[in-house]
Structure 1
Amino acid sequence: MPEKEKLRIDKYLWAIRLFKTRTLASDACKAGRVKKDGQNLKASYEVKLGDVYNVAKGAERKVVKVTGMLENRVDAKTAVNFYEDLTPVEETHSFKSMFHAPVLKRDRGTGRPTKRDRREIDDLQDGFFTPVQPDRGEEHE
Structure 2
Amino acid sequence: MRIDKYLWCMRYYKTRNMVTEACKKNHVTVNGLVAKPSKEVFPTDKITFRKDQITQIITVLDIPENRVGAKLVDIYRRNDTPAEAYQHLELLKLSKEHYRKNGTGRPTKKDRRDIDEFLPSPTLPEGEGDEPFIN
TM-fit CA distance, 1:105 = 1.8
What is the deviation of 1:13? 0.3
CA contact (8 A) 1:12 1:71 kept: no
CA RMSD of aligned residues (A): 2.0
- The alpha-carbon deviation at position 28 of structure 1 amounts to 0.8
- After TM superposition, give the deviation of residue 106 of structure 1 in Å: 2.2
Moved over 6 A (4+): none
Q: Which has a greater percent of helix?
A: 2
Segment of structure 1 superposing worse, 96-105 or 10-19: 96-105
Aligned residue among 2, 23, 35 for 1:8: 2
The count of residues paired between Structure 1 and Structure 2 equals 103
Contact kept in structure 2, 1:9 and 1:44, CA below 8 Å = yes
Higher relative contact order (CA 8 A, sep 6+): 1
5+ residue gaps, structure 1, are 1-6, 113-141
1-structure distance, mates of 2:79, 2:43: 14
Aligned pair partner of 2:58 in 54, 61, 64: 64
Q: Deviations over 1:104-123 (max 9, x none)?
A: 1229xxxx7xxxxxxxxxxx
Larger Rg: 2
- Give the TM-score normalised by the residue count of structure 2: 0.69
Identity of aligned residues (%): 32
Pairwise CA distance, 1:17 = 0.6
2:75 aligns to what?
81
Question: Which ranges of structure 2 fall in alignment gaps of 5 or more residues?
Answer: 107-135
Other-structure match for 1:100: 94
